[in-house]
Amino acid sequence: MIPAEHEDEDPGEAELFEHYSFEAASGQEPLRIDKYLMNLIRNATRNKIQQAARDGNIRVNDQVVKQNYRVKSGDVVRVLFEHPPYEHLIKPEAIPLNIVYEDDALMVIDKPAGMVVHPGHGNYSGTLVNALAHHLDDMPMNSDNRPGLVHRIDKDTTGLLVIAKTQQAMAHLARQFFEKTTEREYIALVWGNVEEDQGSVEGAIGRNPKNRLQMQVFPEGEQGKEAKTNYEVLERFRYVTLVSCRLETGRTHQIRVHMKYLGHPLFNDARYGGDRILKGTTFTKYRQFVENAFAILPRQALHAHTLGFTHPESGAWMAFRAELPPDMTACIEKWRHYTRHVPDE
């Protein structure tokens, strides 16, 4: 199955959860571990098992092994992943959802700030997946065994997500994201005056080797995965800029990382340094103004504004728009007022 896109998904701590554990029977003839696990794990494919081995998720006697390891009598084989085994942890919870659209194949929701998309380390309840488990009788699994999720956004990013309700819809929508035929626009408030009215950022994105909670750009492509973000300036507020970002790929924290790479971190993005005064004056009144703006918008200024895709059953083009949430609107209006009424320092 095609992997789900995960723009802005929080990489989080690298905690592994055991999904399967087997002890090779006495008299077990040496057998490649991918073949051994295919015989024991329901619906497993050789490709998935081999990928798990390449990712370091298969261990024998507590040692990471490669896909060509031969299991022998007495070996204890464990398969671990960074996400919990959902059949044990997903509990339906009556959490309200802002449903923009729903039919038998899919639903589109407008996610609020503060809602984690899927259960993980430190977040085993109150997530979007817990809410979906209450709302839907049955949910298809994506390639990461995460129910219903075709793409994901970070906890403190607001806006549109499409959820698959059938396995057919999951496969069809995942294919669209993989082939880059969907349309996604994000609205972001970034530090500094973005000089070009429009442009593109291209640079592979991978995990920061010095800080596993951050991603970074590898401009030569020596690490990470290719990523491209197109941006356009919507409005300038002297020391910050409102921009529209359209994704051609969906990497973890893509917009946040690409804009920082350009020298324009997202406003109040604590993970990437945007929660400090990066542009402006040293005057006390200005410092107080920015701190008040941080208080109004206590998160990174990023919103999944529009979403377009082909309906997996009807073939019709579906287009949705989610207006900016109140906290982001209030912060932008505060900067707009400042630009109009405070003289240049």
Write out pLDDT tens, residues 62-111. 999 998 999 999 999 999 876 666 555 678 899 999 999 999 999 999 99
Q: Given this model, what pLDDT does residue 113 score?
A: 96
Same-domain status, 141 and 76: no
Q: Is residue 7 part of a domain?
A: no
Residue 244 near residue 186 (C-beta atoms within 8 A): yes
CATH code: domain of residue 49: 3.10.290.10
Q: Is residue 133 part of a domain?
A: yes
Same-domain status, 26 and 101: no
Q: Given this model, what pLDDT does residue 194 score?
A: 97
Q: How far apart are CA 316 and CA 268, in angstroms?
A: 38
- Which residues, at least 6 apart from 344, have a Cβ–Cβ distance to it below 8 Å? 238
Final residue in a domain of this structure, among 34, 58, 81: 81
Residue 139 near residue 111 (C-beta atoms within 8 A): no
The position carrying tokens 């408030």 is 189
CA distances from 1 to 45, 108, 141, 145 (A): 10, 21, 10, 10
- Which residues, at least 6 apart from 74, have a Cβ–Cβ distance to it below 8 Å? 23, 24, 26, 28
Same-domain status, 33 and 161: no
In one-letter notation, the amino acid at residue 328 is M
Q: Of 212-216, 271-275, 282-286, give the lowest mean pLDDT range.
A: 212-216
3-class secondary-structure state, position 7 = coil
Same-domain status, 185 and 105: yes
Residue 16 near residue 84 (C-beta atoms within 8 A): no
Same-domain status, 66 and 95: no
**Per the structure, how many domains does the chain have?**
2
CA distances from 34 to 1, 3, 29, 40, 75 (A): 18, 20, 14, 10, 14
Is the pLDDT assigned to residue 13 strictly greater than 50?
Answer: no
Q: How far apart are CA 126 and CA 97, in angstroms?
A: 12
Same-domain status, 295 and 148: yes
Q: How confident is the model at residue 10 (pLDDT cuts 50, 70, 90)?
A: low
Residue 195 near residue 243 (C-beta atoms within 8 A): no
Tell me the helix, strand and coil percentages in the chain, rounded to 5. Answer: 25, 30, 50
- Alpha carbon 252 to chain centroid distance? 5
Same-domain status, 213 and 266: yes
Final residue in a domain of this structure, among 29, 47, 81: 81
Which of 35-49, 67-81, 140-154, 179-193 shows the highest mean pLDDT?
Answer: 179-193
- Of 83, 181, 97, which Cα lies nearest the Cα of 131? 97
- Which residues, at least 6 apart from 113, have a Cβ–Cβ distance to it below 8 Å? 155, 156, 157, 158, 299, 325, 327
326 membership: H or E segment, kind and range: helix 326-341
Q: Is residue 10 part of a domain?
A: no
Residues taking part in catalysis: 154
Residue 169 near residue 106 (C-beta atoms within 8 A): yes
Q: What are phi and psi of 90, to 5 degrees?
A: -80, 110
Domain residue limits at 252: 88-341
Same-domain status, 156 and 132: yes
Q: Is residue 6 part of a domain?
A: no
Q: Given this model, what pLDDT does residue 5 score?
A: 65
Q: Is residue 9 part of a domain?
A: no
Residue 6 near residue 251 (C-beta atoms within 8 A): yes
Q: What is the mean pLDDT of the segment spanning 303-319?
A: 98
CATH code: domain of residue 121: 3.30.2350.10
Q: What is the mean pLDDT of the segment spanning 321-343?
A: 95
Q: Is residue 5 part of a domain?
A: no
Work out the widest C-alpha separation in the chain, in whole angstroms. 84
Same-domain status, 334 and 202: yes
207 membership: H or E segment, kind and range: strand 204-207
Chain segment 118-176, per-residue pLDDT in tens: 776 556 688 898 999 899 988 887 776 677 889 999 999 999 999 999 999 999 999 99
Same-domain status, 122 and 44: no
Tally of helices (H runs) and strands (E runs) in the chain? 8, 17
